[in-house]
Each structure stands twice: as C-alpha cells, then as structure tokens.
C-alpha cells in the first residue's frame, strides 16, 4: 500500500501564469481534498472531490479548479497566479464517508514571483 | 461562521510536566473535532478525533460543548512530543469541509 504522493515538490512561477499540481491518492481511496497552507497558518480547505465530482468547496475564487480522474488521482489548477498564492499546497485522501481518516501528502511548495 | 482558534502559537514545557494545548471553536451545528500533528520533516497526520474517545500516544482531548473547547492534554510530556499541533473541525453543514486552527508549536525541553 502506497501513501499519498504529490508532484512537483517545489515550483516557482511568475504572476499571471498558470500552474497544475498533482496528487496520487493512497491505494483504494476515492476522496481527495486540497488545502492551501500559507506560512505560519493552518491548512485552508480549497475543495474536495469524491468519485470524480466536486463535493465541497471552500472560500477560493474560481481560478482555483480541480479534477479527479477515474483512478482517483487529482489535479489542482490555479490560473492567473497572484503573489498571495505562494503557499504549501496539500492534498489528502480518504475512503470517503464521515468517519474516514484523511491521509496527507507531503505538499507542493509554490512560490509566485 | 465556522472558526477554530488556537491561542498559543508556541508552547514550551519540561519533560515529564503536564501539557495542555488549547483549542476553541465556533460552529452552529454538531461539531466533529480532530487533532492533527506534524513532526519535524514529516507530513501532517491525524492524532485523534473526539468521536473515538481514545488516547493516542498518551494524549486525550475532551469535547466541551458548553465552553466550545477541545483542548489536547497529556499528563507527562516526552521529548518526542515536540511537534506542530493543529486543531480541526469538520463542518457537516458546509459539505464536510475542514477548518484548521493556526497551530501550536510544542517544544518539550529535556
């Protein structure tokens, strides 16, 4: 059984560019959540996907979008990058259901210049 | 609005001393509360959740609805407890979204 993996580990972009971050769920998990963690802050919920459908969204603008694939891996896309988008982006997978534990990936650190 | 507050950004205790990490929440529904921990150079992981009413690594946390608190406690701190601790709330009225506090960095002094 493999854990949650994320790629890339680090990324540098410039303002206005677009970025795609990737997440592979833990084996058997059908639910993926994405979080943004700014320096010195706790993770902030961006959205969740369950069986390829968006299943909840936090207070993030539409330029943050996502996808979940049939193998339950996931992408986070951010368009028109802003300086404030610089953060650690975490994904977490779970089996779904209200009592299931989330397992976090190591994160992708994005720097927007 | 849902909110999780951890009033202490930093907390230092001596080895063997009791430790309490504070967490208060604001939520209109029936909350589900969690503590997550991040050890140095490791990923965020679940420590415990209130519905399980279990003790993990000697830590316990009791949900107090009257005081809207979910403080994390351990009677005798160990050096390996040094880590970043996050309190989190899952809100069933907003699509089971998680709200995290800003975290408390615990240092256990040998």
| pLDDT tens-place string over residues A49-69 | 988 999 888 899 999 999 999
Q: Which residue of A has its CA nearest to B98?
A: A45
Residues of A in contact with B95 (CB under 8 A): 48, 55-57
Contact state of B100 with A33 under an 8 Å Cβ cutoff: no
pLDDT given at position B48: 92
Residues of B in contact with A58 (CB under 8 A): 97
Distance in angstroms (rounded) separating the CA atoms of residues A28 and A22 = 17
Distance in angstroms (rounded) separating the CA atoms of residues B110 and B59 = 19
Residues of A in contact with B43 (CB under 8 A): 4, 104-107
Q: Which residues does chain A have with pLDDT short of 70? A: 1-2, 97-99
Q: Which residue of A has its CA nearest to B34?
A: A101
Q: Which residues does chain B have with pLDDT short of 70? A: none
Residues of A in contact with B9 (CB under 8 A): 40
**Long-range pairs for A54-57 at CB < 8 Å and ≥24 separation?**
A55/A31, A55/B95, A55/B96, A56/B94, A56/B95, A56/B96, A56/B97, A57/B95, A57/B97
- Give B 47-106 residues with CB within 8 A of chain A: 51, 86, 88, 90, 92, 94-103
pLDDT given at position B75: 97
């Amino acid at each position: 059984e493999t854990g949650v993996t994320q790629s890339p580990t680090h990324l540098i972009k410039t303002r206005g560019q677009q970025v795609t971050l990737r997440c592979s769920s833990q084996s058997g998990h059908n639910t993926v959540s994405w979080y943004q963690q700014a320096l010195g802050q706790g993770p902030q919920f961006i959205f969740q996907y369950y069986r390829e459908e968006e299943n909840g969204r936090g207070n993030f603008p539409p330029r943050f979008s996502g996808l979940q694939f049939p193998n339950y891996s996931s992408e986070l896309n951010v368009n028109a990058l802003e300086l404030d988008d610089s953060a650690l982006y975490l994904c977490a997978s779970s089996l779904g259901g209200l009592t299931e534990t989330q397992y976090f990936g190591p994160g992708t650190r994005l720097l927007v210049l | 609005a849902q909110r999780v507050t951890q009033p202490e950004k930093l907390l230092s205790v001596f080895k063997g001393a009791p430790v309490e990490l504070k967490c208060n929440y604001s939520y209109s529904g029936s909350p589900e509360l969690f503590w997550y921990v991040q050890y140095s150079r490791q990923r965020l992981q679940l420590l415990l959740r209130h519905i399980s009413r279990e003790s993990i690594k000697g830590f316990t946390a009791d949900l107090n609805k009257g005081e809207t608190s979910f403080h994390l406690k351990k009677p005798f701190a160990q050096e390996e407890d040094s880590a970043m601790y996050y309190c989190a709330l899952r809100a069933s009225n907003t699509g089971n979204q998680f709200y995290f506090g800003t975290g408390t960095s615990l240092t256990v002094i040998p």
